[in-house]
Amino acid sequence: MSGHSKWSTIKRKKQATDAKRGQAFTIIARELSITAREGGGDPDANFRLRLVMEKAKQANMPKDNIDRAIKRGTGELKGEILEEIMYEGYAPHGIALLLDTLTDNRNRAVSDIRRILTRHGGKLAETGAVSYLFEQKGFISAEAAEADPEELALLVIDEGALDVNIDSSTLEIYTNPKDLQKLKEAVEARDIELNAADLIMTPKTMTELSESDTFKVMRIIEALEELDDVRQVYSNLFLTPELVIKYEEAES
C-alpha cells in the first residue's frame, strides 16, 4: 500500500504542466459536483464534500471554480450529468486493476479504457472479477514535521487507526471508512499538515513481479490515469519506494 501511495506522491510533485493541472481541475470539479449532488452543498454537513474542497485548495483550484462546481451539483447552476463508475480489469501478468471513474459519457470512458488496456496487453473484466481482491479504507497522509512521528502514530492507533506507515517524517494512516473523519480531526488537532485525506481501495494481498515487468505495469497504470474520465487507478502490484524512484528516473 505504501509503495503505491509513494508513487502517487512523487507524481504529484512532477505534475506541474498546464495540461496536467487542467486535467486535475476537471476531475476535482466533477468530484465536487457529484458529492454536492449526493450529500448537499454544505461542507459542514457533508464530510466527503469537505474532503474534496480541501483537495481542490491543495491543487490551487480557484475559489470561483470550486463554488461553481458545487452549485452545479446542487442544481443551482446547469451542469453535465455525471456518473461514478468502477471498472475492473487486468494488467499484464494477472495484476488486478480497479479504475475509479467520474464521467459524463460512459461509452467514451469504457472505450478509452479498453483501448489502453488492449494496447498494453491488458483487458477489461466483468463486474466482480477483481473487486473482491480490494477493500475500502480511509487514508490520511500527514507530515509530522517537528512532531515525533512515533508519538503521532501511537496517537492515531489509540484513536482506532488500522495501520500506520512511517517514511521519514511522513505518516500514512489507514482507517475504517467510518473512522476517517475522527482520525483526520485527531491529526489536525495536533497542528499537523495533511497531504491527503480520502476514501481509497486497498488490495488485500499484493503481487510481486520482476523489475522489468513491474515497470511495464506501472506504464499502463500511468496511461490509464492520464485519461480525463479516470479519477484513480488501484492495483495489487507490489511496489517499494526504491522501485518507484528507479522507475521515475528511467522514465524522466
pLDDT per position as a tens digit, 168-196: 778 889 999 999 999 999 888 888 888 88
Average pLDDT over residues 122-134: 96
Rounded distance, CA 68 to CA 30, Å? Answer: 11
In angstroms, the CA 190 to CA 226 distance is 36
Residues of the chain with CATH 3.30.70.980: 83-129+205-251, 133-203
Looking at every residue in the chain, the average pLDDT score rounds to 87
Which uninterrupted H or E stretch holds 52? helix 47-58
The predicted pLDDT at position 168 comes to 72
Residues β-bridged to residue 86: 100
Residue, of 23 and 82, whose pLDDT is higher: 82
The pLDDT assigned to 245 comes to 86
Are residues 235 and 96 in contact, defined by beta-carbon separation less than 8 angstroms?
Answer: yes
In the chain, CATH 1.10.10.200 covers: 2-74
Residue 250: per-residue pLDDT: 86
Alpha-carbon span 106 to 52, nearest angstrom: 22
- Tell me the sheet residues that pair with 89: 97, 124
At the topology level, CATH places domain 83-129+205-251 in Alpha-Beta Plaits (3.30.70)
What integer is the mean pLDDT of 77-103? Answer: 93
Note the pLDDT of residue 19: 52
CATH number given to 2-74: 1.10.10.200
Kindly list the distances between the CA atom of residue 194 and the CA atoms of 29, 39, 107, 189, in Å, as whole numbers in the listed order. 21, 23, 36, 11
Query: Which residues, in sequence order, are CB contacts of 90 under 8 Å at separation 6+?
Result: 96, 97, 117, 122, 123, 125, 130
pTM above 0.85, yes or no: no
Question: How does residue 144 score in pLDDT terms, banded at 50, 70 and 90?
Answer: confident
CATH superfamily of domain region 133-203: YebC, transcriptional regulation domain (3.30.70.980)
C-alpha cell at 247: 522507475
